[in-house]
Amino acid sequence: MITPTVEIEIYEGQWGQRVYAYALKEHDARQAVINHFAFGDPDEDDYAIGNHWMTENDEDGWRITRRTVTAANIFGEKSGDFEEEETVHLIWKCPYCDQYFSEDLSKKDQPPLLLVCGCKNEMKYILVNF
Give the binding site for Zn ion (CB under 5 A). 94, 96-97, 117, 119
Cis omega before residue 95 (within 30°)? no
Compute the least distance from the CB of residue 100 to Zn ion, in Å. Answer: 10
Rounded to a whole number of angstroms, the minimum distance from the CB of residue 98 to Zn ion is: 8
Q: Which helix (H) or strand (E) holds 26?
A: helix 26-35
What is the dihedral angle through the alpha carbons of 64, 65, 68, 72, rounded to the nearest 10 degrees? -40
State the minimum distance, in angstroms, from the CB of residue 28 to Zn ion.
Answer: 22
